[in-house]
Structure 1
Amino acid sequence: MDDVIRWNDQYYILATSTMADDRVEVLKQGETFGVFDRYGDVHPILPSPLGLYHEGTRFLSRFELLIGSQRPLLLSATVKEDNTLLTVDLTNPDMLSDGHVAVPRDVLHLCRTRFLWRGACFERIRVYNYGHDNIPLNLSLAVGADYADLFEARGHERARRGSRLATIPCEDGLILGYEGLDRATRRTHVRCRPAPSGVGTDCLRLETVMRPHTDITWDVTVACEIDRPAPHVFIAYDRAHAESQETLEAGKAGDCHVYTSNEQFNHWLNRSAADLHMMISETPQGPYPYAGVPWFSAPFGRDGIITALELLWVNPAVARGVLAFLAATQATETVPHQDAQPGKILHEMRRGEMAALGEIPFGRYYGTVDATPLFVMLAGAYYKRSGDRAFIEALWPNIERALRWIDRFGDPAGTGFVTYARQSKNGLVHQGWKDSHDAIFHADGSAAPGPIALCEVQAYVYQAKQTAGDLAELLGHVARAQELRREADALRERFERAFWCEDLGTYALALDGAGRSCRVRASNAGHCLWAGIADPERAARTARLLLSPACFSGWGVRTIATSEIRYNPMSYHNGSVWPHDNALIAAGMARYGHHEGALRILAGLFDASLFLDLHRLPELWCGFPRRPGESPTLYPTACAPQAWAAGAGFLLLQSCLGLEIDAPRRRVAFTRPVLPPFLRRVELRNLAIGAARVDVALDRRPDHVELSVSRGSAGVEIVMVG
């Protein structure tokens, strides 16, 4: 094709080509995800996220449908609301014969439908002839597999790679293969039904003569195989689709469903719920929300915990799966190149050739300072939401190991604060949620030397010890409970003395290795409200700052204020807006009674969703001030979907409703609920409290919110507080 060039066996698309359109469609199921252009194609360009990936490797780097030698014309492309099916509608361009138009454009309709299921991509290509004449149809499907590791697809260069295996043409398709340096054999099976009219080394030819007003269908399966036969290479399209739908419905059965008077708000939450179900993968320990597509489709400790907390009131089963997985992968020994220490909770776990070979440290990597206290926080929150005492009893040894890590390895210098300093030379320099290299700095812009004590991490540790104290008392460890509560109270006092900046009206971003404050106005301080460590009067001042024009863009709270020397609205962590960050800040404001602030943040993120494709909140967007009638400015490489961004709307709604579920006491409370002007009514259906299910509605009145119960359950108390 004229708009593709080849250089050193790599393919590149000219910037002027229609194939350079950066809009993509995403599917994910289990350990497999696909990133396709709007035609449903994959082009062999580098670096590019396009492709079909399985367990950290790209199994399909080329997948292009042509009519003759021409690309079809795009009519539309959409992903079904539940994220299970990609549908692309195409038509033919003018088809020439001997220099004349033999078939005018818009006579053939091509419909491509695609979904993923158990390590395979299933596609149906249906062509309908709306013309009045017989039309010779010559389709070709170009196929290629580069077996790039996910990090290679991101642009990482490797000194050596494995060996491509000879392509095996079959009667009904192709088998491509690669033997990696990790000695794993990866194969891509491409199978077509009915059998193609011809099979080349890199393409399938689909040829027929179409009579007027008739259609023809081909089903193409692309199955990914690692060392063992691909289980779904021979399963039929319709059967696989039915199985995937049944599994999805079963996974949604335990959810609380939200219905409101605002259809656009409903679309936002429905898309968020669909994204979350797509991001959840089943592990041996239970469901786990992978962080984001394309670059973070893997288990991340911090992301999984925060997503589970955002979703806790909707479905506590996700939190149970996250806790069980992180307990099973909790570090048991000191491994410097993994930043691992006994009791520490996982940062991320990758599959793929580079992880297996140790070319990247992320096969099992522990370079996070906050996942360990967040793990303890989630355990306590899960018990309160579920009443699952047996699970907490089984988890208690892991909680104790996490607490020992906090006290010993988390504070090696005995400063009284949990700090981080990387051990792995290839690991992360900064190990809080703002983990880019320039995220932690002093007011003059100079980098903060380590070890670093982040303000929000001390807040998480405070809440973790409070939570662990409650769990210890539940399990009969009375002395331990008292000890943990004393430690939490002492930490709170130290924190207020060391981190509060009176002239800034907020808490310092961090303390550096010399104990000096990073006097930066940052969104991190909002997490201190969420975890409850902040003094009430100082919490109020922090909330006011975060809602000031310097911090609040109109679309949400920025990561740092516009007055800071490193502020850049286009940066990753120094001036951008992150949905999950905003959800935690809003929850913190609501915790301290500042409900109007929570409403303002909810409104900002909801308004942003109205401008975004599919109402899908991405990982982040730029922090430029909101301009009337214009959309948020997108961050070019933000993941979408992203699990904790998708979960943000649910935590924001919970915060505004003041919703608290106490399953052991079988009590549902709404504390001083508020609703924004654009939500007249909110209904919560199938809200689970143990085995019971309740339906409630909240209606906005001129000066209050009114609660009604449409389906109650005996023994469940539903109350309005305040």
Structure 2
Amino acid sequence: MIAETEDRKPDPAVALPAIDESAPREPHRQFALKHEDCFIVSDSYGDIRGTGDGLFRDDTRVLSRFRLFIGGRIPSLLGASLSQDNILFTANLTNLATTGPDGRETLPGVVHVERTRFIWQNRMFERVTFTNYSGREVLLPVRFDFDADFRDMFEVRGTTRSRRGHAHDALIGEASVTFRYEGLDNLARQSNISFSTRPDEIQSNHAVFFIVVGRRDARALFVEVGHDEEAPSSDRFRAAAARARFAMRSKRRQGATVFSSGRVFNDWLTRTRADIALLTTDLETGPYPYAGIPWFSTAFGRDGVISALQMLWLNPALARGVLAFLARHQSTETSTFDDSEPGKIMHETRKGEMAVLRELPFGRYYGGVDTTPLYVYLACSYADRTADELFVNRMWDSLCAAVGWIEDVGTRNGEGFVTYSRAADTGLFNQGWKDSADAIFHADGTIPRGPIALVEVQGYAFAAYQGMAALAARRGDPVKAARWSALAESIRNAVERHFWMPDQNFFALAIDGEGKQCAVRASNAGHLLYVGLASAERASSIAEQLFSGHLNSGWGVRTLADDEVPFNPMSYHNGSIWPHDTAICAAGLARYQERAGVVRLMSSMFEAAVRFNMRLPELFCGFTRAIGDAPVAYPVACLPQAWSAGSAFMMLQACLGIRIDGWNRAIEVDRPRLPIGIDNIVIRHLAVGEAKVDLTFERVGDHIVCYLDERHEGLVPLVVRS
């Protein structure tokens, strides 16, 4: 039986042992929970130590320290995990040898400590259960240390501020502590920590409990952290957990689901789908996948668009939500500080104090050169997937404004290239997806002068023009259709002419402001295959090199070939592996019929995911794979990250060769392949027009057969090319 602690306690004035914070720790692992605009990051013990971790609400850290000690010592870690639906974090701990205030010693490993935690409606709920497996009653001196520094997310990431707001003295209640902060933006922020049982000692930074646990008995203590004070209890914990799980179940059921014959493969897909659901926030405009935890738990334009593209074949509602949000926040004015121009699509939005005060431009920032063409491409792809003409009609003015911006930027150089050069020093130096300051360079490693034309951005612009030409033709506007089609061919020819490196049989990373090639081999060229810009001959050369040991580490495609001057497998963008990047390359390779190579890439990503506990991080190091080795983690990668999670489904679509033709209400399957070791895949409740069908892929000898469930035969055309 588990009961809340209510027993006679020793005198709290009796001194406890000094807290030992130097005890050996297990390798550092972080666990994240999220609900809407609130998330928490802690270590395997469930502790928040005040580095990059914490409880965050609206880009502000409202709990910067939260640590559990037993007898002044850090408990021993047995294990930690997340529930399959990403709702519950559980840390399993046990006590070290302790001496209580009554002088009695408790032997090590006789008390099991279970910390179970979740986030719901801007509150952290935690249950700490102490189970006594010893032969006698034990007295546990339990201490929680806590603090709230109300640091802006950018401060937590390392930005220094010249001044901050005012932190008030903590308000100490009988079983609670409230922290308060008055920001320079005149917004009062507060954070309350409440316990289900009155502590034996409570101060502004810690609470002490003397917990008596009988032989073979268990006691539970409940904690809540939120804006206001509440009275934590078992009933509140259970009720909130049920609501959180129900809400997550609804999110995970959106769109089609995938099941395979492989148990471990299914575990990966299940975790991946749960990660996408975890990061998806329900905004007024619809669902939006936030980029990643901890640094990017907000709406990013590029990340949201690519995540929506990855999931489009399974869940087009995600794309609709992304498009609606970005259309609402499309720029209508020019601002050097925000890097905005009319028609441009937002790169990032933030709600923290520094953004509100415009100490940084990221309150609503437009410094992403690729977001606008990707936005247009997503809208056109959504139309092809769903034939949702009503939504496209509502979006039309926004799409025309976005294409107008692409055209306008193209007129600033002689070739129609979409270029960037940051408008203000506070903005991003590089504005493609590789946006670190050293990500774009010449072959000798020198940084080029702007404005910069990135190779993949020209591909996105090509795809945007092509898609808009097709939509204009459907809308009965042959003049615009012809104009955009001509622009697509013009930029295709310009890319083939100016970016191709004949001596390396590869496309250059970029063209600088002086018209010179950044003549390096990078994964960016694979994105040209994704949109179908490259000729078949040149695509074949790109494919060969993407599969070579210089670019393919054995775990995935490196961002940079390992024989280029700035290559560093431990860098952020110059030699690491980004799962979403590998997935885009795989989708491009599939477009040029490189199916066998796509299957190998998916196998590599799956094997990496298994070693990362079924969750692909934002990126990992690009060291060459050796027999028996595991992929090497990048130390500050976001986990989970939306487009890393979505990469599994983009690669699976590339393997299966599946495309939904919304205009003709049909399914097209082109030369399907199954992942290595998988003999059967079923896609259930796949939306095709108004119908929802079950589609099966099955290995029969050396062939892959594809068929609809007999309930749907004849209702939805299925075209299979083998």
Q: Secondary structure at 1:336's aligned position in 2?
A: coil
Deviation at 1:167, TM superposition (A): 1.1
Give the match's secondary structure for 1:406: helix
Q: What is residue 616 of structure 1 aligned with on the other side?
A: 615
Q: Secondary structure at the match of 1:551?
A: coil
Paired positions, count: 704
How far apart, in 1, do the equivalents of 2:61 and 2:293 lie?
A: 13
The Cα RMSD (Å) is 2.0
Cα distance, 1:207 vs. partner? 3.1
Distance across 1 between alignment mates of 2:192 and 2:689: 45
- Tell me, yes or no, if the aligned pair for 1:174 and 1:189 is still in contact at 8 Å: yes
Q: What is the alpha-carbon distance in structure 1 between the residues aligned to residue 594 and residue 691 of structure 2?
A: 32
How far does the alpha carbon of each residue in 1:420-443 deviate from its partner, in whole angstroms, 9 at most, with x for none? 110021111111111111111112
Question: Partners in 1 of 2:498 and 2:163 — Cα distance?
Answer: 50
Mean Cα deviation higher: 412-421 or 578-587? 412-421
Tell me, in whole angstroms, the C-alpha distance in 2 between the residues paired with 1:201 and 1:230.
Answer: 15
Mark the CA change 1:31 to 1:98 in structure 2 (over 3 Å): closer, same or farther.
Answer: closer
Secondary structure, aligned partner of 2:169 = strand
Cα 1:349/1:170, change in 2 over 3 Å: same
Q: Distance in 1 between matches of 2:444 and 2:214?
A: 74
Q: Is 2:121 aligned against 1:118?
A: yes
Please name the residue that 1:547 is paired with: 547
Q: How does 1:125-524 map to 2 (within 5 A)?
A: 125-223=128-226, 225=227, 236-409=236-409, 411-524=411-524
Q: Which runs of 5+ in 1 are unaligned?
A: 5-12
Partner of 1:29: 35
Aligned ranges for residues 40-79 of structure 1 at < 5 Å? 40-44=46-50, 48-79=51-82
Distance 1:116 1:527 in 2: 37
1:679 to partner: Cα distance: 1.4
After TM superposition, list the pairs within 5 Å mapping 1:548-563 onto structure 2. Answer: 548-563=548-563
State the Cα distance separating 1:710 from its structure 2 match.
2.4
Gaps of 5+ in 2: 1-16
The one-letter amino acid paired with 2:441 is: F
C-alpha spacing 1:59/1:469, structure 2 compared with 1 (3 Å) = same
Cα distance between partner residues in 2 of 1:596 and 1:155: 44
On the 8 A contact 1:341/1:409 being kept in 2, the answer is: no
Other structure's SS at 1:41 match = coil
- Could you say which residue in structure 2 is the equivalent of 1:591? 591
User: How far apart are 1:478 and its partner, in Å?
Assistant: 2.7
Q: Which has the larger displacement, 27-36 or 232-241? A: 232-241
Instruction: Give the corresponding residue for 1:8.
Output: none
The Cα of 1:706 is off from its aligned counterpart by 0.9
Distance 1:548 1:97, change over 3 A: closer
Measured in 1, the distance between the counterparts of 2:521 and 2:603 equals 23
Task: Please name the residue that 2:692 is paired with.
Answer: 693
What corresponds to 1:716 in structure 2? Answer: 716
AA of the residue aligned to 1:52: L
| CA 1:428–1:712: 2 relative to 1, 3 Å | farther
- SS for the counterpart of 2:660 is strand
Structure 1 position 642, deviation (Å): 0.9
- Residues 130 and 219 of structure 2 are in contact (CA less than 8 Å); yes or no, is this contact kept in structure 1? yes
1:660 corresponding residue in structure 2 = 659
Question: What is the DSSP-based 3-state SS (H/G/I as helix, E as strand, rest coil) of the residue aligned with 1:138?
Answer: strand
SS of the residue 1:361 aligns to: coil
Q: Is the 8 A contact 1:347 1:368 kept in 2?
A: yes
64-73 vs 645-654, which moves further: 64-73
Cα distance, 1:599 vs structure 2: 1.4
Given residue 668 of structure 1, which amino acid in structure 2 is its aligned partner?
A: I
Once residues 329 and 191 of structure 1 are traced to their aligned partners in structure 2, the CA distance between those partners, rounded to angstroms, is 38
8 Å CA contact 1:3–1:17 kept in 2: the answer is: no
When residues 640 and 511 of structure 1 are mapped into structure 2, their CA distance, relative to the original with a 3 A threshold, is same
Q: CA deviation at 1:702?
A: 3.4
Distance 1:445 1:144 in 2: 45
Task: Report how far residue 560 of structure 1 moved.
Answer: 1.3
Instruction: Give the superposition deviation at 1:289.
Output: 0.8
* Per-residue Cα deviation, 1:643-666 (whole angstroms, up to 9, x for no partner): 111110100000010010012311
Q: Distance in 2 between matches of 1:20 and 1:128?
A: 23
Give 1:581 deviation, angstroms. 0.6
Name the SS for the 2:109 alignment partner: coil
Q: Distance in 1 between matches of 2:510 and 2:286?
A: 35
**Aligned-residue offset at 1:572:** 1.2
Q: Check the 8 A contact 1:303/1:643 in 2, yes or no.
A: yes
Q: Give the aligned partner of residue 10 of structure 1.
A: none
- 2:630 matched to which residue of 1? 631
* Higher deviation after alignment, 681-690 or 346-355: 681-690
Query: Matched residue of 2:668: which SS?
Result: strand
Q: Distance in 2 between matches of 1:200 and 1:392?
A: 58
Counterparts of 2:19 and 2:431 in 1: how far apart (Å)? 43
Give yes or no for contact 2:71–2:99 (8 Å, CA) kept in 1: no
For 1:84, the equivalent position in structure 2 comes to 87
Question: Matches of 1:695 and 1:245 in 2, distance apart?
Answer: 26
Shift of 1:397: 0.7
Counterparts of 2:675 and 2:139 in 1: how far apart (Å)?
59
Aligned counterparts of 1:645 and 1:453: Cα–Cα separation in 2: 25
1:505 aligned partner, one-letter code: N
Deviation at 1:286, TM superposition (A): 1.0
